[in-house]
Amino acid sequence: MLTMKRGVNASKRQSDSAISKAPNALQTLRAIARAGELPAERGGLPPRIAQYLQTATLPSPCLIVDVELVEHNYLDLIRALPEASVFYAVKANPACEIIARLASLGSNFDTASMGEIDLCLTQGVEPHRLSFGNTIKKQRDIATAFSRGVRLYAFDSEAELEKLAESAPGAKVFCRILVDCEGAEWPLSRKFGCEAAMAASLLVRANELGLDAYGISFHVGSQQTDLRQFDKAITQANALFADVAARGVQLRMINVGGGFPSRYNRDVPTIEAYANTIRASLAQHFPGQQPELIVEPGRYIVGDAGVIQSEVVLVSHKGGGDVRRWVYLDVGKFHGLAETMDEAIKYRITTVHDGGPTTPVILAGPTCDSADILYEKTDYRLPTALKAGDKVLILSTGAYTTTYSSIAFNGMPPLASVCI
């Protein structure tokens, strides 16, 4: 526990240093990509985490996040797409050290609940830098957020719009539309968004209700590696802008959501490729005055900055014709690896025996739930020498792990976390 406290204190000192050296990140873009501080390859083991693990005494499993690498990813994004307002998706990883660092760099924040709003406010984030981006909000939460100064809200239905008109009068609102998520490793369902024709009518109605019909948003799917999906969505947005303008309402903003990837078991496009695609699409479809641009990255900012240290609990065989070993870790679907559902997100794993002979394995978590299998269909191979008690590292796990971790399923504690 003392080691974890040192990590937190170190993070605070580094955050204070960042504030003093980079009071305005957009102007100074403080370079932290120094040799030896970044992984040898994107999504690899961050050197600062490797060094920290040499002496750290941590519970198992535990997520370690390099806040310097979080800063590096944020600065890379605003360097690639300086015309965008960045709203960090707090749900990806709400660690106070991450919120504080990004706040010091000038980031805005996309929040999904009063809990996330209060978290940001307690870290000194001004309410005008917050978006209440969940389209499913309790009326009392809208009223509370508005009373605390939040003025930007998402919606995708008439009922939600009416709640906003009553409890957040005059607020800026944007309507989320349904788009194609093809190509995303973690696709988003039809739970959020509405058809474009409905969105146009709702935005006109928002104006009639005294709200500021600010613009539209979409999300092409998390871990989206097909760049064409952004152009398809922006094309749809352009038609919606024209439809609403013909009815007397001028929209001013497009929120392209997230989708920018981490690096898991295969290479992904660079952030510059995403920026160039979005920029070119906006220039093509809005050749005159382009709308304001919002992006809501989460995974890209924190994913590659985190590593879970886990322990092998058991290595066994089941008999029969399947010669694969079962490797049970002390981390599983209920400890933060929920995105292994349907084997969607395929994390890279390193062990103390890397370099030796390997054999096929089935990877599973430690709980008494048959759903707690991480990879059975995907061809994972781990060292033959791997045994109970060995430490393994699961790379690029900084996003959507602590927030997906259960409180105490089977009496096991939630995923521990430390920022360095």
The per-type count for the chain, helices as H runs and strands as E runs, is 12, 18
Active-site residue (options: 62, 181, 368, 419): 368
Q: How far apart are CA 177 and CA 149, in angstroms?
A: 26
Strands 358-364 and 416-419: unpaired
Distances (CA, A) of 32 to 72, 80, 86, 247, 353: 6, 16, 19, 49, 32
Residue 275 pairs in a beta bridge with none
Q: Are 106 and 415 in contact (CB under 8 A)?
A: no
- Reply yes or no on whether 175 is catalytic: no
According to DSSP H, which parts of 209-249 are helical? Answer: 228-246
Neighbours of 62 (CB within 10 A): 19
Q: How far apart are CA 265 and CA 109, in angstroms?
A: 29
Q: Which residues contact 222 (CB under 8 A, 6 or more apart)?
A: 184, 185, 186, 187, 188, 258, 259, 299
Q: Point out the residues that are catalytic.
A: 368
